[in-house]
Structure 1
Amino acid sequence: MSGAVREAAPRRPDLRQLRDDSHIGLLLGRIVPGAFPPLLTALTVALVAGTLLVADGGQLTGITLFAPVASLLLSGLVSGHPHDGRFDWLVPPVLRVTEYGFLTVLGLASGVPGPLVFVLLVAVVLHHRDDVTRPAVGMVRPGWVRAAALGWDGRLLVVAVGGALESLTAAYGLLAAYLVALLVRESVRTWSATPVTDLRDDHNDRGGVNASST
């Protein structure tokens, strides 16, 4: 299987894919599909995560580590919604701000080295960039690659578990290294599957120096 799947024509990305939910979140979405409005739920997730961070100054505490669990439970319930509302296009940006903000504030306030927080954020941003840009050129990433990235809620849970084990810096480092390795592997697979025109053949077809004189 190639590193990227070629489609017939460019298309708009599916908002449900841009949500970047984990397997657990997708499973929760099958329980009550379409029961709650996606945008209102996403805003509630952002509010809950932000409130829990502010409550303890963004530092690592039990109530702060509960934010990823609350986010997963709330957001997962609408992951199966068709996202066909007028303003549902705002859902992915709200979830992105929630993830980036949580990782940044928690990491910096809890003593995780700034460069490490930055590397993790860059890896996550590049992961989301792939989901947004590839459909514009008629391609999508393989499903297993998206699943392997753990989902936005899954990444927050990894950080929460690391914090609960008093290894928050290690959790940031391992998660960053894992996502970077996944991105590099997918890039290599994509490059190797991209057709390359032989410039020598193209030169001959245009009547170059090696073209036939007959």
Structure 2
Amino acid sequence: MMVNQISKIMSAVFLTLFIVGCASFNGQNISTNNPDAYGDAQVSMMSDKELVGKEVMLGGKITTLNPQGDKVRVEVVRYELDKDGYPIIKSGEMADNRLVVDIYGNVRTNSYYPGDYFTAVGLVKSVDDVSIGGEKVRIIMMDAKDYEFWRDPRREVYYDDFGFNSPAIRYHHYNSYWGFGFGPYFPYYY
């Protein structure tokens, strides 16, 4: 009788934890969170004056990340975005388009670097056509209300094969040039 009650309580606790855990997987992404934002094709068709004050979703490859007091400025070479807001790497950069995004508040950028990807949704502050090296470049400046950083998928973690650089497994003795922490499963980027 006591075992039966304990099993019922444990089942109820497990079911509750399972339901609460699954409820946190909502499947949202930056494009579904911001359905009213203008996309790439619409932004490309708008004039500079029309674009100012509009809410847009743009992104691309990060060139610089600059913390500036209460904000972080992200400078981006624009790429086309897919339906989920991820930059389409295969299509390459959009010719003569740059994006400067200011993100206010606490932003964690410590694991993202130039070469990673970025998507932002926000209001366009200004659009300037400048000449750099004889080429006309369209620079869009915006304040982000929603953003997402994406790692470069080509920079993935590589693990050594079993026994490589391992003093204990392959060589049965320790050599000082191996250093602390370098073993058969020490990750590094190639």
Report the TM-score when normalising by structure 2: 0.27
The structure whose residues are more often helix, as a share, is 1
TM-score, normalised to structure 1's length? 0.25
Q: Between Structure 1 and Structure 2, which shows a larger proportion of strand residues? A: 2
Pair member with larger Rg? 2
Higher relative contact order (CA 8 A, sep 6+): 1
